[in-house]
Amino acid sequence: MSNNVIILAGGQGKRMKINSPKALCNVVGEPMLEWVMSACENAGLDEICIVKGFAGEQIDAYVEKRTSKAKVSTVLQAERLGTGHAVMMAEKFLRANADGNTLVLCGDAPFIDAATIEGALKLHMQKNCGVTVVTSVVEDATGYGRVIRTKHGISGIVEHKDCNADQLSVKEINSGCYWFKTSDLLEVLFEIKPNNSQGEYYLTDCVELMINKGKAADAFISLNPNVALGANDRHGLLKLNDIARMEIINRWLDEGIEFTCLDGVSVGRNVIIGRGTRIEAGTELRGNTVIGEDCVIGRNCILENTVIGNGVSLNNVQAYNAVVDDNAKIGPFVQLRPDSHVCKGVKIGDFVEIKNSTIGEGTSVSHLTYVGDSDVGSNVNFGCGVATANYDGEKKFRTVIEDNAFIGCNTNLVAPVCIGKGAYTAAGSTITGDVPADALAIERGQAVIKEDYAKKKLAVRTKKFEDAHKG
């Protein structure tokens, strides 16, 4: 018996005013579709079928680049004719898994969770249901379909606009998530009709058809209060982001992480933060970022897929796919580009960019410096304004700076070049060849002084100014 999932992700989201599927809109830096898919994988579902529609090639591209635990396929819903019609497009997928159970989820309802999926499946199988609806109990049920319970399960789902007075008082709502016995779903799926004002095929009609055929139907109340939440416009998407952001931050507050101010703070759900670390205003922690213990992540930092050691201090730092070892002090206004490794005890000052380079232990890169495609040893000192010229317009070359070297202010290192151990470069030099260990390299053009040149230029400028202001 196989348990699998169909995710409905064909919506355009016209009210979002975007040229991509609504399910690819981000919540705390990840598409809503990713939230749904990862919940399914965490619940152990190993086969996923995504029903795509508008700009479906974007769904395909996302799935292709994603590292998936489950086998993922897509099918096209060329016309958007309702949720039931969307599931019909996955008929081949359903028939290939007819001996099991199929979960149907909405790709734009990101807060479905593994515990809800697993709990609903357990109830579904224990009671041998044809369908089990995932529900939520809310204080304000306006706009949601009401789940009508009986002694032995449910008798159906009534849309808000069709409810009578008693049904309007019901607080248990349909989340849009369903477990079906796949063979029972196939038995009724193609019997549903578009007999409604929208002319669409509603998946909810399958519940009534199954009950009429004597199939058991029940509902699982999720403990997740947000399981039914989705977004139809930018206002709704902002609400989802606020809910997710605060849920993540509250979890870290419970773990003892200090947040000095929440203005502009966003923490991705896969981020890990060590004890004793302080997060300050304007910080964004994205992707699979890992932060060690006793760090200070200062104002306006952006860390994406970056690993930070213990005791690190960052101030106005942007780091992408980088590694920073223990006790480094970096910033303000520093960018660490991909494949940069800042080793233990390094100090990096203001307006510095590191790209695809290793900066050895105890090295100091003070300010106004670019280090690209370089292998820098330990205890190296960079003066102000140093640049590694790593690109000749066609190819990129590496610079090697060995331990204890001293790179003077405004030095240009034209790669490929190696600065030996303990070597010095004089301020203002453009180094184009290797420098031996313990040597001093001075590579400057010969000064040419033209007497009275400036005096003549000033006289010309003065006359032009006087002529322009005569009279």
232 is in an annotated binding site: yes
Rounded Cα distance between 46 and 5, Å, is 9
62 belongs to an annotated ligand binding site: no
Upstream peptide bond of 332 is cis (omega within 30 degrees of 0): yes
Check 85, 160, 341, 367 and give the catalytic one: 367
The phi-psi region of residue 199 (left if phi > 0; otherwise alpha if psi is between -120 and 50; otherwise beta) is left
Q: Is 22 within any annotated ligand binding site?
A: yes
280 known ligand binder = no
> Is 85 in the active site?
no
Please indicate if the annotation marks 370 as binding a ligand.
yes
Q: Is 14 annotated as a binding residue?
A: no
Any known ligand binding at 355? yes
Four-residue CA torsion sign, 348, 352, 358, 359: negative
450 is in an annotated binding site: no
275 is in an annotated binding site: no
| 405 labelled ligand-binding | no
Q: Which of 172, 142, 169 is nearest to 157 (CA)?
A: 172
108 marked as binding residue: yes
Known binding-site residue numbers for acetyl-CoA: 390-391, 427, 444
Residues that constitute the known binding site: 22, 77, 82-83, 108, 145, 159, 174, 232, 337, 355, 370, 381, 390-391, 427, 444
**Annotated active-site positions, please?**
367
**Residues in the annotated binding site for UDP-N-acetyl-alpha-D-glucosamine:** 22, 77, 82-83, 145, 159, 174, 232, 337, 355, 370, 381
Bind-site residues for Mg(2+): 108, 232
